[in-house]
Amino acid sequence: MTDTTDNLHVMNRAALTKRLVGKLANREAVIGGIGNSNWDLWGADKARGENFYMLGSMGLAAPIAFGVAIAQPARRVFALEGDGSLLMQLGCLSTIAAQKPKNLAIILWDNGIYQITGGQGTPAASARTDMVAIARASGIASAAWAADEAEFDALVAKALTTDGPHLIGVKIDNEPGRNQTDRDPIRFRESFSRAMAQPV
C-alpha cells in the first residue's frame, strides 16, 4: 500500500462514505466523528441503525469505536474521523495500539483544514505532518494511505477480513458535508444500542 503522501489522489468524503457503507454486510458498527464525517455518514444511509452520530466531543470517534470493539469482539467497528479531530486526540492511537483490538478500523478523512469553522488550515497541514506515519509510529502497524478509490476498496476489504487495528488515510477535497444529521442524541443512542443488541 501507499507509504508517502506525494502521489495521493484527492477523493471525496461523501462518495467514499457511501462506498464504505455499501460494503458492510455484517451489521458492522460505524462511528461518525463531529461535523462533516457525521453528516456524510447520515447522507450515506440514515436508516442504518449501526451508525452512531457523535455530537460535540471532538476527537472521540476513535475512542468510542474502540469501546464498541471491546464490548463486541465479533463485530467489526469503523471510526470515521477528520484530521483536525484526530490531531486533538493523538494519544488514543497509542491506547488503541497497546490493546490491539482486532476488529477496529479507523478511517481518517484528511483535507488539512477545519472545514466546518471556516476552512482554516490545521497546524499539521502547515507542518506537512503525515498522520498515517504518526499512526504507524504509535504502534498501529496496519496503517496506510489510500492512493485512489481502488486502493481504498482494497484497504476496506483488508479491514473487513484481517486482524486489526487498521487505519486508512484518505486525502479528501474541501466539499462540505451534503446533509446534516438530526440533532437527537437520545434517539441516536437508542437506535444504535438496539442495533448493537442484534447478533453479527
Partner 1 sequence: MTSAAEAPPTTWHAILRQALKDNDVRLVTYVPDNVLRPLIDGCHADPFFTTFPCAREEEAVGIVTGASMAGMRGIVMMQTSGFATLPNALASLPVAFQVPVLMVVSERGTMGEFNPGQAIVCRTMRPILDSMGIEHHTMTRLDEAAFMADRTIRQAFATRWPACLIISPLLSGARK
Query: Footprint of partner 1 on this chain (CB under 8 A)?
Result: 29, 31, 52, 54-72, 75, 89, 91-92, 94-95, 98-99, 185-186, 188-189, 192-193, 196-197
The distance of Cα 141 from the centroid of its chain, to the nearest Å, equals: 17
Q: How far is the CB of 182 from partner 1 (least distance, A)?
A: 13
What's the min distance (Å) between Cβ of 55 and partner 1? 5
Q: Which is nearer to partner 1, 62 or 146 (CB)?
A: 62
Q: How far is CA 100 from CA 12, 56, 77, in A?
A: 29, 27, 13
Q: Which is nearer to partner 1, 141 or 200 (CB)?
A: 200
Least distance from partner 1 to the Cβ atom of residue 151, Å: 28
Contact 140, 97 (CB under 8 A): yes
Residue 121 CB partners (closer than 8 Å, separation 6+)? 112, 113, 114
Give me the least distance between CB of 19 and partner 1, in Å please.
24
Task: Specify the residue, 39 or 66, whose C-beta has the smaller distance to partner 1.
Answer: 66
Q: Is the CB of 102 or the CB of 189 nearer to partner 1?
A: 189
Least Å from the CB of residue 1 to partner 1: 26
Distance, in Å, from the CA atom of 198 to the CA atom of 48, rounded to the nearest integer, reads: 13
Distance CA 48, CA 74 (A): 19
Residue with cell 486489526: 164
Task: Kindly state the cell numbers that stand for 199.
Answer: 447478533
Nearest to 196 by CA among 35, 75, 17, 58: 75
